[in-house]
Amino acid sequence: ILNVEQSPQSLHVQEGDSTNFTCSFPSSNFYALHWYRWETAKSPEALFVMTLNGDEKKKGRISATLNTKEGYSYLYIKGSQPEDSATYLCAPTISNFGNEKLTFGTGTRLTIIP
Amino acid sequence: DVKVTQSSRYLVKRTGEKVFLECVQDMDHENMFWYRQDPGLGLRLIYFSYDVKMKEKGDIPEGYSVSREKKERFSLILESASTNQTSMYLCASRTGGPSKETQYFGPGTRLLVL
């Protein structure tokens, strides 16, 4: 089982402020990293998949970076809005053999305060 | 749009009962997964299947079994439900091949075992 750590576990942010949180994972045999957003009473929804060291992905106000050599990824949210309130999950995968599983972190629970 | 459906949103069962959780996806995905989500523990993989009639144990398979008789349907079976199986259960599917492909999740089944 991969050791995947996300920090902080929870976060309260004032509406309009920017924030970021971290996903750490073993750097050996890295293949890809997924970020998911899970809103209450909904299904987890994919945000990004990143594979290359130095990758940066952006979706509206949300962006993510990847450092495969040191084994971490940051997720940034610019100008937080109430609809950003959710649990953000990361999941690295360590092989390219196909049909491999993801190992999810415990998530960062983000609450935006209006 | 990919759709993953689960047979129940909420379920209450008694200790010792046999429980079936059904998952259906409509995108002809080869891979299907069952997870459980518990507070502070993240999404933990119970079983997955990368093809019809194929199954692989995940990280916490004890007390569970699965069935994949048709490509679109993946069932999770609790042979004799116990109170420690009270949890949120999530099904997911994705196309086969490299694990950088996105997983699509169902809405979840919240199971209470009394």
From first to last of its 114 residues, chain B has per-residue pLDDT tens of: 668 999 999 999 999 999 999 999 999 999 999 999 998 888 999 999 989 999 999 989 999 999 999 999 999 999 999 999 999 999 999 987 766 788 999 999 999 999
Mark out the alpha helices in B11-92 (DSSP H runs). none
Out of A42, A51, A106, the one facing B40 most closely (by C-beta) is A106
- pLDDT-derived band at A102 (thresholds 50, 70, 90) equals confident
Res A72 pLDDT > 80: yes
Our CA dihedral for B89, B4, B77, A100, rounded to 10 degrees, sits at -80
Pairing mode, strands B109-113 and B56-57: unpaired
Do the beta carbons of residue B47 and residue B61 sit within 8 Å?
yes
Residues of A with Cβ-Cβ distance to B58 under 8 angstroms: 101
Do the beta carbons of residue B20 and residue B109 sit within 8 Å?
no
Closest residue in B to A44 (Cα) is: B105
Could you give the 3-state DSSP secondary structure of residue A114?
coil
Range 62-81 of B in CB contact (< 8 A) with A: none
Largest CA distance in chain A: 45
Number of residues that this document lists for chain A: 114
B31 touches chain A (CB under 8 A): yes
Q: CB–CB of B100 and A99 under 8 A?
A: no
Phi, psi at A11, each rounded to 5°: -155, 130
Q: CB–CB of B97 and A99 under 8 A?
A: yes
Residue B99's pLDDT is 67
> What's the one-letter identity of residue B5?
T
Least confident of A82-96, A99-113, B39-53, B92-106: B92-106
For residues B86 and B106, give the distance between their C-alpha atoms in angstroms, rounded to a whole number.
18
For residues B54 and A70, give the distance between their C-alpha atoms in angstroms, rounded to a whole number.
36
Residue A99's pLDDT is 56
Residues of B with Cβ-Cβ distance to A95 under 8 angstroms: 99
Residues of A with Cβ-Cβ distance to B105 under 8 angstroms: 43-45
Q: Is B39 exposed, middle or buried (0-12, 13-18, 19+ CB in 10 A)?
A: exposed
For residue range A12-59, what is the model confidence (pLDDT) as tens digits? 999 999 999 999 998 887 888 999 999 988 999 999 999 999 999 999
Q: Work out the percent of chain A whose per-residue pLDDT is above 90.
A: 77
Residues of A with Cβ-Cβ distance to B59 under 8 angstroms: 1, 103
Q: Which of B31, B99, B101 to mutate to test the interface with A (most CBs of A within 10 A)?
A: B99
For residues A17 and B96, give the distance between their C-alpha atoms in angstroms, rounded to a whole number.
40
